Structure 1
């Protein structure tokens, strides 16, 4: 995700004496109560979450130790899955705290500045696009929709060289069955993929923006069938019921065996991109 670039701290030279750097989690234009921030855990070893004022914008930040968040130390930590997960959870908690109060732009994890002044200066320089993005996200949520083939993606009978009736197969009939089965599987997949695209087109009618992510592998999904669509939709909270009804409607409407899964509402990470503010016309899919 693209956000405000970070001034990466180091632990050498003049920065070696600086014990703390400023970690920026999110930008909002809505007040966040101090009491709420005080009870929200940030990164381990850091100070309490707090707000920095940057004109009309508010930055959710935390003082974190250079010893753990200097460039080299952080790179080593994020190479460890347990540390990566711990940092990601802390980042999300802080973003979620801001988002509960109003529109918030989540920044990339480990967006670090040498001090508060540098953080405020970087955000102030991008005030206009950040305010546009906040307006875009206000009173809207992200919903994730994934579409899968509903049945097995492949069969193994033909490939095994065994005839359909259990008897041995001669070479010509075996090749014919393999060819037929491959063609049938290909046609079924193409039909299911077309159905997934149709689902996407329908859901875009109820969203203000949508994006497709790369389909996840079967190893990641834990399913033995391919994922045909991995999409996210930015939906007005006022149209939530319409969107949810639309998700339920098209699943097997034309007899195509596809399975649709829905999750959300989420913080709109997929749409909190400064580089997309300038190309809203391509992203907007207004009904």
Structure 2
């Protein structure tokens, strides 16, 4: 029977406090700590039939499996973030055995130490701004309702509707730009990510700002209060705050 592969969630410095006793990772396996050169890889054993290179290509097309794997991965990262500053690795980072993990640490040791120095005592906050759909946009009126008196009346209504829509977007974009500038001044670093597709994310509204901010733990309460004060500031615009997260956007690793 195969011993499986070594899955690596993150690299960090030796922990000052133990991980949660009941913490589980991919497939329900408890994470372990692999010490090497003064750094720690947080690992667990995963089945080769799921995580070999060939198997992964097929597995990544299985959205249910991918979602469950991503949740388990994120659960370990979240638990680490409460006790240390981790450098999260990409989803499905696997090696044949512990020797492969040690070789990876050695090859990237200087980068890991540099990133850990930069991220120490800091977390990532995510802020998204959405243009909310009004009742008239969410559901089209019935064909017989409020029929225009003429073709000219119809065109006038279309122009007014288009103008209102454009004005709403301009207002939202101006608000998002101003908010990003304000938050960037309160953060140590910031990243702008591409707007999310609402059809894929399932989140209502149109995303006009998708940003991440690197903030010290000591300043996080003030940062959160600043974001909270902007909620409801502009009608039809929704502000969402997420975090604190491990600093994915500033670690050089992809989510």
Matched, 1:146 2:128: yes
TM-superposed deviation, 1:59: 0.7
Provide the aligned length of Structure 1 versus Structure 2.
253
Q: 2:99 pairs with 85, 97, 117, which one?
A: 117
Q: 1:200 pairs with 180, 189, 193, which one?
A: 180
Assess, with a 3 A threshold, how the Cα gap between structure 1 residues 233 and 62 changes in structure 2: closer, same or farther.
same
Checking the alignment, whether the CA contact within 8 Å between 2:85 and 2:246 is kept in structure 1 is: no
- Structure with higher Rg: it is 1
Distance 1:161 1:42 in 2: 53
TM-superposed deviation, 1:251: 4.1
Q: For residue 73 of structure 2, what is the aligned residue in structure 1?
A: 91
Q: 2:12 pairs with 7, 11, 28, which one?
A: 28
Q: For residue 132 of structure 1, what is the aligned residue in structure 2?
A: 114
Distance 1:94 1:19 in 2: 21
TM-superposed deviation, 1:62: 1.7
Q: For residue 223 of structure 2, what is the aligned residue in structure 1?
A: 243
Checking the alignment, whether the CA contact within 8 Å between 2:90 and 2:253 is kept in structure 1 is: no
Distance 1:158 1:49 in 2: 51
TM-score w.r.t. length of structure 2: 0.84
Distance 1:251 1:61 in 2: 40
Distance 2:109 2:103 in 1: 10
Distance 2:19 2:236 in 1: 47
Q: Partner of 1:52: helix, strand, or coil?
A: strand
Checking the alignment, whether the CA contact within 8 Å between 2:5 and 2:95 is kept in structure 1 is: yes
TM-score w.r.t. length of structure 1: 0.76
Q: 1:269 pairs with 239, 248, 251, which one?
A: 248
Assess, with a 3 A threshold, how the Cα gap between structure 1 residues 175 and 193 changes in structure 2: closer, same or farther.
same
Q: For residue 151 of structure 2, what is the aligned residue in structure 1?
A: 171
Q: For residue 107 of structure 1, what is the aligned residue in structure 2?
A: 89
Checking the alignment, whether the CA contact within 8 Å between 1:158 and 1:181 is kept in structure 2 is: no
Assess, with a 3 A threshold, how the Cα gap between structure 1 residues 206 and 76 changes in structure 2: closer, same or farther.
same
Q: Which runs of 5+ in 1 are unaligned?
A: 1-16, 276-287
TM-superposed deviation, 1:156: 9.1
Distance 1:218 1:274 in 2: 24
Distance 2:253 2:27 in 1: 29
Matched, 1:42 2:21: no
